[in-house]
Chain A
Amino acid sequence: MAKGKNRMSAEVNAGSMADIAFLLLIFFLVTTTIASDKGITMLLPPKPDENTPPPEVDKNARNIFKVQINSADQLLVEDEPLEDVEEISVMAKEFILNFGRPDEANQALFNSLPASLRAQALRADNSSDHPGEAVVSFKTDRGTSYELYLQVLDEIKKAYFEIYGERVGLSADEYRALSTRNPGERELIDRGKENIPMNISIAEPSKAGGN
């Protein structure tokens, strides 16, 4: 019996396997969009109850930090026109940390703050009494662009996160990255915002210049 040619290599040529895999890899690399659920969180106010009239606002004007935007995207902060959006976070921070007339509990809060934050308290008469009382009021028009709305909201949030972060010795970015799932980080979060509520009030927009 004549022997067949079984001298031929029985292996499959796998040299091009890498190329094929590379091709697939590049396809997936290009098509992948790592889904990101990031953004600015807000808690809307509860729905108005018809049976109860809207609560009377008896806050002192000095405790309200007013930000208004009209339909032409012009800013009015504390009744003064403002060009640069980025100034809002500085102004809001000054306002929140003013400690004009703190009561006893808030004097204790003031004393518990780190020195760097205490130094920022201007104690001006015409600004907020203490952080618990301070409210940032933000009013837009129906014609205001969403982009500017988000920028301003971003600045207001920045003011608060900077305060929270500084209180626990972190930067605003580090503070925001903390996760509530980790007990140690959760404690830091709670310690940062304790007694300094994020009072952002978004007023119902006026009707001018919208659709």
Chain B
Amino acid sequence: MSKFKKKTGTSQDIPTSALPDIIFMLLFFFMVTTVLRETDLLVEQKIPAATQLQKLEKKSLVSYLYIGKPKNAALYGTEPRIQANDAIISVDDIFRWVTEEKDKLSEIERDQITISLKVDQEVKMGPITDVQMELREANARKVLYASIKKVDL
């Protein structure tokens, strides 16, 4: 009765030749979505957490101000400083900085500029108030206090 002999010749291997393609696909996904940090942080940044976060709809309208204790205390001291783009600036320079940032936008979008304040949680309200006064002066009234999602324990 060996007419229906069992075929034992099946290969036990899983074909893995498509594996590199799959991995490459994932790789390209991550390469494309990765944004390398464009500015070097000169101030300490430990962003406080909050719950009522809102997402910004249009990223091109956002400019960032970093406020915190300088990492290089020998150069900039220990008091909280403001960093815009790649340099430490003083409060008086904010007006000019906002004007420059506004110039980068098209005319209709100029009034919608949003300043994202990335403030270290150790900072006191004093410097922040000074910054906000300057922003009001420069007519950049939309402000975002950057924060991360609070995790409920």
A contact set with B: CB distance below 8 Å: 14-15, 17-18, 21-22, 24-25, 28-29, 31-48, 140-147, 149-151, 153-154, 157-158, 161, 172, 176-177, 179-181, 204-205, 210-211
Q: Is the CB of B145 within 8 A of A179?
A: no
A201→B132 CA distance, assembly (Å): 14
Selected contact of A145 from candidates B52, B56, B122, B136, CB within 8 Å: B122
Nearest chain A CB to B150 CB, angstrom units: 8
If A21-B24, A32-B33, A146-B128 touch, whether A39 touches B146 (CB-CB below 8 Å) is yes
Question: Does A146 lie within 8 Å of B124, measured CB to CB?
Answer: yes
Indicate if the CB atoms of B126 and A14 lie closer than 8 Å: no
Contact A210 B125 (CB under 8 A): yes
Q: Is the CB of A39 within 8 A of B35?
A: no
In the complex, A18 Cα to B119 Cα: how many Å? 42
Within the complex, what minimum Cβ distance (angstroms) separates A22 from chain B?
A: 6
CB distance from A113 to the nearest CB of B (A): 21
In the complex, residue of chain A having the shortest beta-carbon distance to the beta carbon of B19: A18
Pair A29/B125 contact, Cβ less than 8 Å:
no
B17 touches A (CB below 8 Å): yes
B81 to chain A, nearest CB (A): 12
Decide if A41 touches B143 in the complex (CB within 8 Å).
yes
Do residues B23 and A25 form an inter-chain contact, with CB atoms below 8 A? yes
Question: Would A142 and B125 be within 8 Å (CB), given that A44-B135, A45-B136 are in contact?
Answer: yes
The reply to whether B141 and A43 form a contact with Cβ atoms under 8 Å apart is yes
B31 at the A interface (CB under 8 A) = yes
Contact: B53 with A210, CB < 8 Å? no
Residue of A nearest to B144 (CB): A39
Tell me if B54 and A47 are in contact (CB < 8 A).
no
Q: How far is the CB of B1 from chain A (nearest CB, A)?
A: 42
Minimum CB–CB distance for A24 against chain B, Å: 5
With most chain B CB atoms within 10 A of its CB, the pick from A145, A154, A172, A179 is: A154
A44-B136, A46-B141 are known contacts. Are A149 and B125 too (CB-CB below 8 A)?
Answer: yes
Q: Which of A28, A40, A204, A211 contacts B147 (CB 8 A)?
A: A40
Known contacts A28-B34, A40-B145, A47-B139, A179 near B57 by CB under 8 Å = yes
Q: Is the CB of B136 within 8 A of A47?
A: yes
B124 adjacent to A144 (CB under 8 Å)? yes
In the docked arrangement, what's the CA distance between A22 and B83, Å?
37
Residues from chain A with Cβ under 8 Å of B23 in the complex: 18, 21-22, 25
- 4 tightest CB-CB pairs across the interface, nearest first? A142-B126, A210-B126, A28-B30, A21-B23
For A150, the chain B residues whose CB sits under 8 A away are: 48, 50, 145, 147
B149 CB within 8 Å of chain A: yes
| A contact residues around B20 at 8 Å (CB) | 14, 17-18, 21
- In this complex, what residue of B is CB-closest to A25? B27
> What residues of B have a CB within 8 angstroms of the CB of A146 in the complex?
48, 119-125, 128
CB proximity of A192 to chain B, nearest CB, Å: 13
Does B129 touch A at the CB level, under 8 Å? yes
Q: Is B62 an interface residue (CB 8 A)?
A: yes
Task: Pick 8 A–B contacts, CB within 8 A, sort by A.
Answer: A14-B17, A37-B62, A38-B55, A39-B54, A40-B50, A44-B141, A145-B121, A146-B123
